[in-house]
Chain A
Amino acid sequence: MKSIIKYIPILLLIASLSACSDDDTPFNPTEGLTKISETYALGAGAKVELWAKEDLYAGYNNLYVALYDSIDGERITESHVQFNPIMAMSSGMKHSCPVINPEETAVKELFPGAAVFIMPSSDMGSWKMNVRVHNHHNDKEGMAAFDIIVANPSVTQVKSFVTGSAEKMFVSYTFPEDKKVGVNEFEVIVYQMVSGMDFAPIQDYTIHLEPEMPSMGHGSPNNVDPIHEAAGRYMGKVNFTMTGGWRLNLTLNREDDAIQSLFFDVTLD
């Protein structure tokens, strides 16, 4: 017993030291993110960093913009940030893709938004991401232009179809949190390509979600069909009962139109 008592002060010391070191860890807003590129927004006097969860790929990508004043290097947390991605095809055609622009105020010092790249970079064409920012410090606006590479993922993450009235729709998905076994928030994004440069959110679909494990032929219970929330984003829940390969079957239903069925394959490690 005595020997234990002898060690108590040491244990307390260790505990207090480790507690201190926890508190002293500085907040790093880009922890766990990958820096895609950085450049200056000419005319706005700002440095723009483009971050994402991983290297960019065709499909739904969360994007994060970090802004700094290029003179004093201070972080800017109030700004209008607008994404304008452009795909320049070797044929000479150009088009954009659906984007979700950040709010005016930074969240945890970053401006989060998203882009649904509807095709990968290839010999056929290359992507450029233009980010328009507004520097409140000097009240100037400018544009940062990034050459980006959009990879072709091993499974398709964005799909398209044409409706009966010849509207071209793009459907993609994302998991707001890392996907795991259990209950997952699940988001479906539907945009119409109005013109090459103009994508409009579509909000009047009724979506039914049916997950399935193709190698076993079973699904999972108690899934929640995605319901439109805002800006073409439909929020639902998908349940995974085990790891492995899952197929998310979606049916999209809209008045006066044929039912569209499509699926996305995901793998849970």
Chain B
Amino acid sequence: MNRLIFLILFIPSWVLAQESSGYDSLPTYLLTEVTIQSTSSEDTLQNFFRANKSATTEDILSRLHGVYLIRRGSYGQEPMLQGMSGGQLNVTIDGMKMFGACTDKMDPVTIYVEPQNLEGMRIMQGSGGSEMGSTVGGSIDMQLAQPQRSSQIFYGQAGVGYQGVSNGINSYVNGNYSTKNSAYNFGFNYRKANNYKDGNGLEVPYSQYEKINFTGGAKWHIGFDTLIANVLIDNGWNIGYPALPMDVGSAKAKIFALTYERDRCHGLVEKFRIKAYYNSIFHSMDDTHRSDVVMHMDMPGESKTTGIFGEGNLRQLGNHAISFRTDFYYNHVLAEMTMYPEGESPMYMQTWPSSGRAVVGLYLADNYSISASTKVKADARIDLAFTSVDDGIGKDQLEVFYPNTPPTSSLLASSINLRLQQLWGKSMIAEVHAGYGERLPTLSETYGFYLFNQNDGYDYIGNVNLQTEKSWSGDLSLTYFTNALQVSVTGFYKYLPDYIFAKTAENVLPMTPGANGVKVYENIPFATFAGGDVMILGNLSPAFRLVNTTKYTVAKDDSKNPLPLIPPLTSITTLQYWRNHWNIQVECEAALPQEKINPSFGEDTTPGFAVMNLRGGYTFTKQRLLVNGGLENVFDTFYHAHLDWGNIPRPGRNLYASLTLSF
């Protein structure tokens, strides 16, 4: 990790490209592989996270290269890469698979992790992200902060933050204790936000949330063997979703992991680690605070995942650096809905029938250095998935739609990628990637039963006959860099046969009162995605830096209709100044109007916007105290972004401040 080099220093400068292990002295610029560091580096004072210690994992994600967020409330936003989200992405925590328990996607697993828990985030776009599982959209791996052996026996941080727009607070403390052969860490975080005010000064109802998070880790070293135990417990409650008809009463996640690592093995394998894990999420929606509820309903959901994986790399073979990963996991979900009509029997159904999926996979990668300036990375993955529904109501329900099809499937998903990097002279790098990937339909897409989508007003039904979604993709990126200027241009094109998309089912009536109809998932012939981004980084003077990123995606189905939930051209420009104990930055987020919309998904055109943020920080070195503050949405602009469901306005002007004490 200490071999980090700066490459893509944009919006706050904390986005680093990682030099892949096993490479020689030439820095490799994996533009599509972005790592952020929350601690180690000296220069992170300038990073967004340090400049805004109250940032949530989502806040950080939203500023990462190529990441967009689908927003349904002020919490629980769903990450998107290059226009792809949900089951198209692998979202993992330290390589562990975890799946949200909410049928309405209120709980992408990113909400169960606090930035203080994280050592870094690894983002890989497209099918190249298949290390963590078969994918078409990419992967986001959130790496948990592990206990560190240190010369300092005990150290830690404590902080408080305040957000004016929502009258919200955040407080946390974390610490690390080490002995000669072991280390332990813990973290505790509490957040509470009230309803925020929009740019017109009006309160946005149901935008509150509250949560606590606890993590603990222990690490024991015995020679070259290391054993690590991790626990994460996250409890959220009273989480409002203004864009949905219900809120979240409680969302409880638990993660337990045990990792065994061995360095310097004898024989072919150089080092490896094995991790066994279990995680569970219990989630319950809540309509008791809503005034316009026709009929009260309980909607609890649960998702449990057990898994084990082994990964490592082989001893260098000539110019080849070969790494491997083999994994197994079993995910089981159940989501229920009970409605209580007045004076009648309760109505019960399973919106996610009690069902499970076991997946076993193998991944191999070869980093091959052809010459000092030319490198090739080839990787391949194969996954075998067995999916089935437990006997009972859920299975019987599915028979209504699929009377002659047993709701069981075995699917094979594979991917293969080839990446070529070429350094030209001293200041130009080209990278070409071509890949094929597949992704498994999610359990929700396979078995979902009358899942109401507030955006288009349709009830969604799963399809037990779904095949994998495929992706043929190509990316090209060019980077020019000098000390004063760095410009990087990336373009991508994806052709996705058997794209999984919900189509209106004629003659099927909806279940939800007032719904427009029923949509059933199917494999449409194909969809296409194209887009690109430009990054410009200028070091204007030793103290001033200007960073701009602009990204664009366009996506169409086989009839050339725009796919829904595709963001317009967006851009973030940051001017950073740092000197001595000060850091100041001015940020401008802007988006063009989005007119390429999918009205059958309930979309309307979204106007463009530009919002300005000011951030600053001062470090009292002696007291080891960091003071941050800022003003977001300086001009109190009333706006929403295209990925915001229900056109719910974003927060208006927000004055925030935070204090961080290191000890």
Contacts and interface: CB of A to CB of B under 8 A. Distances in A.
30 contacts: A180-B393, A180-B396, A181-B348, A181-B396, A181-B397, A182-B393, A183-B403, A215-B341, A216-B341, A216-B347, A216-B511, A218-B510, A218-B511, A218-B513, A219-B509, A222-B401, A241-B349, A241-B400, A241-B511, A242-B339, A242-B347, A242-B349, A242-B511, A243-B345, A243-B347, A243-B348, A243-B349, A243-B393, A244-B346, A244-B347
A241 B396 CA distance: 9
B295 A215 contact: yes
Which 7 interchain pairs have the tightest Cβ spacing? Answer: A182-B396, A244-B347, A242-B349, A215-B341, A239-B400, A243-B348, A221-B508
A160 B403 CA distance: 33
Contacts of B511: 216, 218, 241-242
B341 A244 contact: yes
Interface in A146-184: 180-183
B450 interface: yes
A213 B348 CA distance: 12
B401 to A, nearest CB: 7
A182 to B, nearest CB: 3
B507 interface: yes
A244 B399 contact: no
A220 interface: yes
A215 to B, nearest CB: 4
B300 to A, nearest CB: 15
Interface in A70-105: none
Interface string B314-342: 00000000000000000000000101010
B344 interface: yes
B509 A218 contact: yes
Interface string B387-415: 00000010111011101000000000000
B400 A182 contact: yes
A216 B510 CA distance: 10
Pick from B348, B507, B512 the residue with the most CB of A within 10 Å: B348
Nearest to B395: A182
A26 interface: no
Contacts of A221: 400-401, 507-509, 518
Given A221-B400, A241-B349, A244-B339, 17 more contacts: A180-B396, A181-B396, A181-B397, A182-B393, A182-B397, A215-B347, A216-B295, A216-B347, A218-B509, A221-B508, A222-B401, A241-B450, A241-B511, A242-B337, A244-B345, A245-B347, A267-B345
B262 to A, nearest CB: 24
A229 to B, nearest CB: 19
Given A216-B295, A221-B508, A183 B396 contact: yes
A23 interface: no
Interface string B166-186: 000000000000000000000
A217 interface: yes
Interface string A227-257: 0000000000001111111000000000000
Contacts of A269: 345
Interface in B419-460: 449-450
A241 B449 contact: yes
A240 B350 CA distance: 12
B399 A183 contact: yes
B393 A181 contact: yes
A268 B344 CA distance: 11
A217 B513 contact: yes
A245 B399 contact: no
B509 A245 contact: no
A221 B346 CA distance: 21
Contacts of A239: 400
B403 A181 contact: no
A105 B220 CA distance: 77
Contacts of A220: 400
B513 to A, nearest CB: 6
Contact of B344 (A183, A222, A240, A245): A245
Interface in B479-513: 507-513
Given A181-B349, A215-B347, A221-B509, A245 B341 contact: yes
Contacts of A182: 393, 395-397, 399-400
Contacts of B399: 182-183
Contacts of A183: 396, 399-400, 403
Contacts of A244: 339, 341, 344-348
Pick from A215, A217, A219, A267 the residue with the most CB of B within 10 Å: A215
Contacts of B397: 181-182, 241-242
Nearest to B344: A245
Given A216-B339, A222-B401, A245 B345 contact: yes
Nearest to A240: B400
Interface in A10-68: none
Contacts of B395: 182
Contacts of B513: 216-218
Contacts of A217: 513
A248 to B, nearest CB: 15
A32 to B, nearest CB: 20
A175 to B, nearest CB: 14
Contact of A222 (B349, B403, B512): B403
Nearest to A245: B344
Nearest to A213: B347
Interface in A168-225: 180-183, 213, 215-222
Contacts of B450: 241
Contacts of B401: 221-222
Nearest to B349: A242
A184 to B, nearest CB: 9
Nearest to B518: A221
Nearest to B505: A221
A154 to B, nearest CB: 12
Contacts of B510: 218
A185 to B, nearest CB: 12
Contacts of B337: 242
Pick from A213, A216, A219, A269 the residue with the most CB of B within 10 Å: A216
B279 to A, nearest CB: 29
A268 B450 CA distance: 19
Pick from A215, A240, A242 the residue with the most CB of B within 10 Å: A242
Nearest to A222: B400
Interface string B198-218: 000000000000000000000
Contacts of B348: 181, 242-244
A98 B337 CA distance: 41
A226 to B, nearest CB: 16
A31 B346 CA distance: 30
A222 B512 CA distance: 18
A153 to B, nearest CB: 15
Contacts of A218: 509-513
B346 to A, nearest CB: 6
Contacts of B345: 243-245, 267-269
A218 B348 CA distance: 14
B64 to A, nearest CB: 41
Nearest to A221: B508
Contacts of B347: 213, 215-216, 242-245
Pick from B295, B345, B510 the residue with the most CB of A within 10 Å: B345
